[in-house]
Structure 1
């Protein structure tokens, strides 16, 4: 090719697509969406911070708004950094009532977990903590609150998964029986278990296990 002669396109090269050019309205919409996402993120991080922080003027004044934003799905638990050791051993048993009124025998759910964990060098986290933490969270929540109702349903789901022969239902109720045994320091007499606490039947509204 001589000097000054225009370069001819190579027919073997694919055509390069034209760059996408956003309209003014498209740019405005993207800017608004970015601002909204930034605002929601800022509000969320602020709410989580004041909800998890020690009690202060802001968290006390806006306690209702903070609970509305964080409970029950966004609640924070900092016990990983400030553990609260167990002071009792809790044994939980359960039984179910079928739609025709038949009641199953009591099933010791805690004993099932202990048997699964014992002699297992890498035990399942579910066997170690699922039932215990569900019960502790249930008893530690405000009675009648939406959080406690959610945790009650969680316990119902655990029972329906673990009690032999429950399958998909239908069932009309679930009942728990709980026995607490205090943990005594080494060298003290063996602790005496408290009397078993039998909870009222939790009635299921449907076969899926919705409790009320």
Structure 2
């Protein structure tokens, strides 16, 4: 009768039933556990070992301990875990506040917007402005351009009036073909003009407390834009107008659209030092002298 530890008669090393037991660890350390598998046809048991690995053979680390936890925050030390958790909490709170502010901005008038409307507007404008005029019920069907001209006094004391400068056209040229256009070119003049129109009557009289504020705002925008033009003298007065044209209907539509220009001309405004901080050098505005 063969010894219990001896292989079965006729069996080759690496074939037959392999025992499951501890495997001595490196350098005399704690043993590693391994699960054997049935050997294959090869004398060295290569095929059997491959099948055993595929069937779930388990081998722990060289030190005999089970594998540690995976990556992520759990793999960080305690101080870094705290920093990561606080950062995630701050980002989550900011996202919740932003979503709430954007919702209140586009929502119908309610108790919260009546009490905290100014705070909501301060958060949203100008970077996060929400404008639904692109969609129903009233999509934009007009092109509105803002023009400006100036009354200039030359070095010889003679007074002359410039032609109309297309301020909206200048913004369009700066935007067209630019993959990252400036927010100033896209919205400053447009929003400033909307602000003025909504706070004035059709005869250009203020209809509320914000009328004078909107007037000062649009005057400063016009002066900043005129600064880029060599006018050959000191600006003493400016005048603005808007040109409104209907968007032409597509060729496949039978709709008749009035595309004639309609003008809204504002009165002449005398330029003061308040219209541009520090005045404008270079023979444009020098009201502080």
- What is the TM-score normalised by the length of structure 2? 0.43
Shift of 1:48: 0.9
| C-alpha distance in structure 2 between counterparts of 1:72 and 1:131, whole Å | 9
Superposition map of 1:180-199 within 5 A: 197-199=267-269
1:136 to 188, 193, 204: 193
Question: Match of 2:230?
Answer: 164
Task: Say if 1:30 and 1:164 are closer, same or farther in 2 by CA, change over 3 A.
Answer: same
SS of the residue 1:80 aligns to: coil
- Partner deviation per Cα, 1:90-138 (whole Å, 9 max, x = no partner): 662222768x89877323113994xx9xxxxxx84758x8797255234
| C-alpha distance in structure 2 between counterparts of 1:61 and 1:135, whole Å | 25
| C-alpha distance in structure 2 between counterparts of 1:51 and 1:60, whole Å | 11
The answer to whether the Cα contact below 8 Å between 1:95 and 1:103 also exists between their aligned partners in 2 is: no
SS of the residue 1:95 aligns to: strand
Q: How many residue pairs align between the two structures?
A: 179
Question: Match of 1:205?
Answer: 277
| C-alpha distance in structure 2 between counterparts of 1:60 and 1:159, whole Å | 38
Task: Say if 1:200 and 1:182 are closer, same or farther in 2 by CA, change over 3 A.
Answer: farther
| C-alpha distance in structure 2 between counterparts of 1:77 and 1:5, whole Å | 70
- What is the TM-score normalised by the length of structure 1? 0.56
| C-alpha distance in structure 2 between counterparts of 1:137 and 1:112, whole Å | 13
Q: Which runs of 5+ in 2 are unaligned?
A: 1-23, 27-70, 177-185, 200-209, 247-255, 282-289
Question: Match of 2:241?
Answer: 178
Higher helix fraction: Structure 1 or Structure 2?
1
Larger radius of gyration: 2
Question: Match of 1:64?
Answer: 118
Compute the RMSD of aligned alpha carbons. 5.0
